Amino acid sequence: MAIVPPTNGFHGPGAQRRPMRGPRRDRWMWWRLGSGVAATVAGVVALLIFTADR
């Protein structure tokens, strides 16, 4: 599951050829980490609510 934020300005194979450097890359990394954690937490909460209803 690779969600690419629109902030990096590169899309598709071009993103592979031009790796980001500096603070922009750090922001992208934190964005990926935050979105992954948010998705995991949302999934766990949804599962808990779904199982609690039964």
48 part of a folded domain:
yes
- The pTM for the full model equals 0.45
Token pair 């766990």 is found at 44
Closest among 37, 34, 8, 10 to 22, alpha carbons compared:
8
47 part of a folded domain:
yes
4-24 pLDDT, tens per residue?
A: 555 545 555 555 555 666 666
Q: Which residue has the higher pLDDT, 42 or 7?
A: 42
28 part of a folded domain:
yes
- How many domains are contained in the chain? 1
Write out the residue range of the structural domain in which residue 47 sits. Answer: 21-53
